[in-house]
Structure 1
Amino acid sequence: MFIAAKYIHQKIKSRNKNPNDDALKHATEKKPCPHSRPFQVELRARASVENARTSSQGSTIEEDRVLVPQGLPKSDEKCQVCKKQKHDARVYRWKLIAGLCLPFILATLDLTIVATALPSIASHFNEFDELNWIVTAFTLTSTTFIPMFGQFADVFGRGETLHLSLFLMIIGSVLCAAAQTWGMLLLGRALQGVSDAGLMNVVMIILSDKVSLKESAKTKSLFTLVGGIGYAVGPTVGGCKTSTNIAVIAHILVFILLRHELVEGTMFKKGSRLSGILPALATVDIIGSILFIFGVGLIILATAWGGATYSWSAAQVLAPLVVGSICFVLFFVYEYFLEPGRIFARIFPKQIAMLPYSMFARRDTIWLAIVQFSTGAAMYSIFYYIGIYFSLVEAYPASKAGVQLLYYIPGMGVGVYIAVFLCNVWPAQSFFPLNIGTIVSTVGLAMVVYAIHTQNTSLINGMMAITGAGTGLRFMPATLHMVGVWPEKIAPAQSLMRFAQPFGGTLSLTIMGSVFNNKFARASVVAGGGGLDVHDTNSLTFIADLPEEAQRSVRLAGRDAIMWAYIAVLPIMGLSLVTGLFIGNVWIRPKSKVDEEQRDGLEEEGSHSEVIYVPYLWALLKGNVDSYKKTNKIIPESTSKSAGFNNS
């Protein structure tokens, strides 16, 4: 990988090397403002000469000179239009940061906010055997509703969908805080999960709207770090009332700062009456949404029950697994026939596919989804099973076990910082941070297995940081890569990426839970501790009261069970290593287009993204990368109400 990086660097240097001093002088001299009079005159003159040549008529340069607006500045004057554009872009960026930071950190907090409080919460309701449902109720809804919120953001607008998500968070948090029954608590967690699906997805969509990839990279760098902090501090802050307070403040900030800035809906626009809701809903992919929610939801439900509540051969597991798999396949079949010109598109002419089947025509969509799937697997496994390790094997109290997760954050911060450099400075491409992050995460998680086997606490903490660095390396580049590949389908593209990550995390937790329960149950019975539940504080106390030899046997069994649980998810990481090699590449700052257009003064730097849709390593091996490049023109409109995209 590093040899390939060195080769690419040399190719870029040789491609951009100027053959003579005149060209060098021309490239380094101050670029003309695109709004200046001399430039406009020159531009019109060039167009007139070209038209004259093609039409075999005389030049009309002088006529075109007259048509140039007389109020334009000279080339050596400061352009007020450029100054205003830069000022508006800066204001827009800071409004996004101020308005969206709280909703985003709220979404990340709720994922891990109960991680170390699970035994205490379950003991309050006397539901130790159903403890995992506190997590499952959240992850099930937060995964299944992601694509639906992406379509809502398109149809009803970013602002309205964001407010709906925050409102659901308030309702869910109030239900959790006031829960008198186990069912009421799970309902609150499920609503929090629905809200989380909307918040995470819509915030990422908004950050991709109306800006170039270069500008988007800057803002997403900050939000990636904020999200990492939220994931890590969640176990230490706890409390559903915290979520309620943050959600109320976020509501107010979004309304004050962003109500005039966000992209409107395609059907339900600002000022639309309530009667416009039903026509807007008519364009939503209702059948596809139902198939997707039932398909993914039943699969998660079956894997959550399998090996934990029921045996894998039980009807309670097989029935939802089979029905869910059928619904999931039918969803993609339905989306295929909902493409323009096909049968369902003729039956439902107003409906728009939630995840257009045409997106999968570009293979990067599939490869990137697998990479994101593995990102979720690595992240969720650290958040949940490292805490179990320290509670069960090292006998740490819940609070101290939760603090150990904070070692994950410095690593994630380093990964984010490196990703910022690789995306914004050099090589300003998405291929390298994605693959480097995948390698680092895989190595880190493999070393976690070894560290657990040797019970080396320092090594575990260090490998958590390494795994966090790999995760941080992939967060932002994955989003930028998908936007670069599908600039005209930002909402569904982001929805797919946001779905793949928690889906990978949820399924990996299910796999780990099944392996852990099977391995640990056998050993605990042998040691005289049959029926032990590591989440149950009474069980942990029971282990501490065992004779020293029996206690040591149970803790060693727990160590081995956790080790095998991590081994079970390593194939997912290995798969992502392979698929990462087939990914194309996105140039966040395409050098050739920037140089050409800055010389002509046509566009600002970063207004184009160059994309390779074939595997980048294949294009590199063929020795002619430029021949595989396609240019996606992204017109940043930081202060307008919509953005335009053209593919060339």
Structure 2
Amino acid sequence: MSNFDNENEAIADKEDKEVALAMQTPDVEDDPKAMQNDVAAVEYSPVAFALLFVGLALAVLLAALDQTILSVAIPAIVTDFQNFSSMSWIITGYLLTATAFIPTYGKAADIFGRKSTILVAIVIFEVGSAICGAATSMNMLIVGRAVAGLGGGGILSLVITIISDIVPLQKRALYQGVIVAVFGLASVAGPLLGGVFTDHINWRWCFYINLPLGGVAIVAVVLLLRLPPGTTSDISKSVKRMDYLGTFLLVLGIVFVLLALSEGGNEFAWDSGFVLGFLFAGVVVLVIFVLVEWKVAVEPVIPLSLFRNRYVAIVFFCSFFNGMSFMPLVNYTPTYFEVVNGDSPVGAGIDTIPLVLALMFSSLFAGVFITATQRYYPLVICGAVFQAVGGGLMYTMNADSNSGQKIGYLILAGIGLGFTLQSLTIAAQAASSDEDLSLVTSNNNFWQQVGGVLGVAIASSVYSTRLTSSLAVLAPNASVDYVKNNPSALRVAPASVIPPDEMGGVIDSYVQGLSYIFLLVVPFAGVLLIGSLFVKRAKLTKPVEMGVA
């Protein structure tokens, strides 16, 4: 999630603003907070501000759409590239780089300035999108997704920071509401738009659509955004403080673990040297990462000092498992409707609307509830319960489930996700000190994203293993390779690869595989529920930065 930084206020009178923009205090480069507090509010004409805000909103829409538009296109992509085993990397490749580099973008914005940094982020995202659209293999697509994530992770956080710079404190809630609306629009429109592209043009347009939108955002930022250039008086000193080693070790360790999870049960047995070796290597690298963050890094990617506050640590724990529930549900529910119910991509997008609408409106309700009552922890507990119940009921779905069942189950799961997305952000902030507010907020988002990455990897592995074992029993004469690599073409398969009398067994095997993804939500949400019992229970006593899902 992205969050508004409520620490910035206009400090110069109208006649002093131009002077304030041109000057920096001598010690600003050593104190980013000092730089933030020294930024004068730039005065825009109503038209210029409206155009700039539309450009920034388009940048947010880019990254938000990218998280939902692909969910209905995954079966078609797998069919085109005939590569089932790498399916999860379409999602995790983006999330991994987007998550790992969020702290780096924050530091880069202080050093080089917001304008230069967000332009770099948008351009990187555009390059990644172009690579994905032109991909000739699954590996090329995954590389493009990783490049796009490298830019996308920066876009979300930088837009919020820029809005904090140009909008007075008293009016930020209004513009935060607009950003929430943009995310809501992306949540609903993403699966539908992805379905239209996949059905009527080509899944590649799920990526090509980013190019014109990003172009408009770049023009708006270049022509209209006016902010100080950054702390350029001693760039070399500031750059050296960035935690490159920690970022590298974090990404490498997670990649090793993901390789083991994605290949286990597919290309290699779970007890094979490949799987066990990469799991071991991943754990070792992550242990080294922790040691580097503790003993070496000047400004670590993950400040371990935050974990001294047990209430902050328990919220990070809860957010991790919340991400493990969130990402598999959002990304694999459309696949279920396409493969099991035979929906077109557009139809799968429509069938997924109850989940995303429930998520969006329950998130907004959570904000209203917290504002009215100043209490957040009941929503954490209720959210975990709704997730577990919704996931458990979705596990019972099959090809014969009626519309009422499907809609009701998705609504319950969506309510649970919406409650926890907002309330956990507030819980983290309520447990933190004032000086750590922004740091705790960004790290809470970090742990949720990491949980999402691992949740998708685990869910994909269970899905694949269960599908393969079910096919051996329910459709023994069907070609396993064809069934797994052609999820969008099962019902038109030649009789030589799927005998007509075994088509029902193939569909039931997919039900077995995909339903276990929903079943995994139950233990993930159960651990979240246990953790939520230890969340700090107190009324809010200070302003908070509301999150955007």
Q: TM-score, length-normalised on structure 1?
A: 0.67
Q: Cα gap change, 1:228/1:559 in structure 2, threshold over 3 Å: closer, same or farther?
A: same
| Matched AA of 1:234 | G
Which letter does structure 2 place at the counterpart of 1:414? F
The answer as to whether partners of 1:435 and 1:577 remain within 8 angstroms in 2 is: yes
* 1:581 corresponds to: 533
Distance verdict in 2 for CA 1:448–1:402, change over 3 Å: same
Per the alignment, residue 557 of structure 1 pairs with 509
Q: C-alpha separation between the residues in 1 aligned to 2:504 and 2:145?
A: 36
Unaligned runs of 5+ in 2: 1-40, 195-204
The answer on 1:148 being equivalent to 2:108 is no
**C-alpha displacement at 1:562, in angstroms?**
2.3
The answer for the alignment partner of 2:191 in structure 1 is 235
CA contact (8 A) 2:333 2:352 kept: yes
Q: 1:134 aligned to 2:90? A: yes
Distance 1:494 1:98, change over 3 A: farther
Q: Does 1:193 align with 2:138?
A: no
Shift of 1:166: 0.8
Which of the pair has more CA radius of gyration?
1
AA aligned to 1:359 is: L
Confirm or deny that 1:542 pairs with 2:493: yes
What is the aligned partner in structure 2 of residue 164 from structure 1? 120
2:336 matches 1:385? no
CA offsets per residue over residues 332-354 of structure 1, 9 Å max, x none? 222222xxxxxx47xxxxx3222
CA contact (8 A) 2:130 2:211 kept: yes
Match of 1:574, as an amino acid? Answer: G
Could you say if the C-alpha distance between residues 305 and 322 of structure 1 is closer, same or farther in structure 2, counting changes exceeding 3 Å?
Answer: same
Change (3 A) 1:116 1:489: same
The change in CA–CA distance for 1:328 and 1:400 in structure 2 (over 3 A counts) is same
Post-superposition Cα deviations, 1:196-234, rounded to whole Å, max 9, x if no partner, equal 222233345556779999976654444334223313422
* Equivalent in 286, 295, 302 of residue 260 of structure 2: 302
Which of 315, 331, 346 does residue 399 from structure 1 map onto? Answer: 346
Deviation at 1:466, TM superposition (A): 2.5
Q: 2:394 aligns with which of 432, 448, 455?
A: 448
Give the structure 2 partner of residue 495 of structure 1: 442
Please give the TM-score of this superposition, normalised by the length of structure 2.
0.78
Cα displacement (A) at 1:471:
2.1
Mapped to 2, the partners of 1:100 and 1:566 lie a distance apart of 35
* Displacement after TM superposition at 1:286 (Å): 2.1
Shift of the 100–539 alpha-carbon distance from structure 1 to 2, 3 Å rule, reads same
CA distance in 2, matches of 1:497, 1:282: 25
Is 1:108 aligned with 2:57? Answer: no
Query: In structure 1, what is the Cα distance between the partners aligned to 2:105 and 2:86?
Result: 29
Q: 1:363 to 1:96 in 2, by over 3 A?
A: farther
Which residue of the partner structure matches residue 320 of structure 1? Answer: 278
How do 1:309-458 residues align onto structure 2 when only pairs under 5 Å count?
Answer: 309-337=267-295, 344=296, 351-424=298-371, 426-452=372-398, 455-458=401-404
Superimposed CA distance per residue, residues 212-267 of structure 1 (whole angstroms, 9 cap, x where no aligned partner): 9997665444433422331342233242121111212222333455433xxx69xx
How far the C-alpha of 1:191 sits from its partner, in A, is 0.7
User: Where does 1:543-622 land on structure 2 (aligned, <5 Å)?
Assistant: 549-585=501-537, 587-588=539-540, 590=541, 608-609=542-543
Aligned-residue offset at 1:173: 1.6
Contact 1:508 1:569 in 2 (8 A): no
- Identity, in percent, stands at 25
Contact in 2 for aligned 1:543/1:551 (Cα 8 Å): no
Letter in 1 for 2:521: V
Q: Shift in Å at residue 161 of structure 1?
A: 3.0
User: CA 1:547–1:469 in structure 2 vs 1: closer, same or farther (change >3 Å)?
Assistant: same
Q: CA deviation at 1:322?
A: 1.5
Structure 2 equivalent of residue 645 of structure 1:
none
Residues 157, 508 of structure 1: CA spacing in aligned structure 2 closer, same or farther, 3 A cutoff? same
Q: 2:26 maps to what in 1?
A: none
Matched, 1:461 2:407: yes
Q: Please tell me whether the aligned partners of residues 453 and 563 of structure 1 are also in contact (alpha carbons under 8 angstroms).
A: no
Q: How far did 1:415 drift?
A: 0.6
Distance 1:368 1:379 in 2: 16
Q: Counterpart of 1:407 in structure 2: which amino acid? A: P
Q: Which has the higher contact order (CA 8 A, sep 6+)?
A: 2
Could you tell me which runs of 5 or more consecutive residues in structure 1 were left unpaired when the two chains were aligned: 1-84, 338-343, 346-350, 591-607, 611-633, 635-648
- Residues 366-412 of structure 1 deviation map (CA, whole Å, 9 limit, x = unaligned): 22223322332333222232223222222223332232122223212
Contact 1:224 1:416 in 2 (8 A): no
Judge conservation of contact 1:371–1:438 (CA < 8 Å) in 2: no
